[in-house]
């Protein structure tokens, strides 16, 4: 089946790459509670006891109003507590908040710093995001070598991230192989981004 994303004349290859990156990050993320606790009262109690995973989840729930009254300031406080304990998912969440200016001042440099901390701990979605940040020069000087390193780190986990990369290579790249080989500038750019 031919990909509509890549064959549409109005869709630029960079947009497709961004969409695929978002899909990759979504495939890598785990939406379930890392603590296994869905009860708000128990989660809060565990967070107050110092459990960093519970602090992050409790903060995220407060920030977004998931199962509790929405309180973004208090939510950020708890996520920051978890990040201060070097909990990678909390550092990743703070990076996203700073990247989007969600609940905090937009600051791409802080976003990069938090993302780097999470990526160095092996969080696949942070590694994929670091690849994108290095590629686009968001919060850091553009560095294609570093971008490729982080993209490959994210793809080496063998789980959903690896499956997403394999699906991309198997189902999307072959359809444009002729263009890669025979000079289509946009296709060569995409191929260079993948390898």
When comparing pLDDT for 68 and 12, which is higher? 68
Local confidence band at 63 (pLDDT 50, 70, 90 cut-offs): very high
Residue 33 lies in a domain: no
Averaged pLDDT, 165-192: 49
**41: Cβ contacts below 8 Å, ≥ 6 apart:** none
Local confidence band at 187 (pLDDT 50, 70, 90 cut-offs): very low
Number of domains in the chain: 1
State how far the Cα of 194 lies from the Cα of 110, in Å rounded to an integer: 27
When comparing pLDDT for 139 and 28, which is higher? 139
**Tell me, what's the pLDDT at 151?**
81
DSSP character string of 12-74 = -HHHHHHHHHHHHHHHH---S-TTS---HHHHHHHHHTT-HHHHHHHHHHHHHTSSS---HHH
Half-sphere exposure of 70 (CA within 13 A, CB side): 3
**Tell me, what's the pLDDT at 162?**
54
Residue 73 lies in a domain: yes
Averaged pLDDT, 184-193: 51
Averaged pLDDT, 141-155: 85
Whether residue 100 has pLDDT greater than 60: yes
Residue 55 lies in a domain: yes
Residue 67 lies in a domain: yes
Look up the domain containing 50 and give its range. 39-85
Phi, psi of 153 (to 5 degrees): -60, -45
**138: Cβ contacts below 8 Å, ≥ 6 apart:** 99, 108, 111, 112, 132
Residue 68 lies in a domain: yes
Residue 110 lies in a domain: no
Residue 32 lies in a domain: no
**Tell me, what's the pLDDT at 9?**
46
Residue 70 lies in a domain: yes
């Amino acid at each position: 089946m031919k990909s509509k994303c890549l064959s549409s004349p109005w869709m630029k290859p960079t947009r497709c790459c961004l969409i695929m990156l978002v899909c990759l990050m979504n495939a890598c993320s785990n939406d379930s509670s890392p603590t296994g606790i869905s009860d708000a009262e128990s989660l809060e109690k565990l967070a107050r006891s110092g459990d960093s995973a519970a602090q992050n989840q409790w903060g995220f729930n407060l920030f977004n109003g998931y199962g509790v009254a929405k309180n973004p300031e208090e939510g950020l406080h708890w996520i920051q507590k978890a990040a201060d304990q070097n909990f990678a998912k909390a550092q990743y969440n703070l990076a996203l908040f700073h990247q989007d200016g969600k609940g905090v001042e937009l600051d791409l440099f802080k976003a990069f710093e938090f993302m780097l901390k999470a990526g160095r701990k092996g969080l696949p979605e942070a590694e994929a995001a670091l690849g994108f940040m290095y590629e686009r020069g968001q919060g850091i000087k553009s560095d294609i070598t570093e971008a490729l390193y982080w993209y490959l780190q994210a793809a080496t986990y063998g789980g959903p991230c690896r499956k997403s990369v394999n699906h991309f290579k198997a189902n999307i790249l072959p359809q444009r192989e002729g263009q890669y080989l025979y000079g289509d500038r946009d296709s060569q750019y995409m191929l260079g981004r993948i390898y």
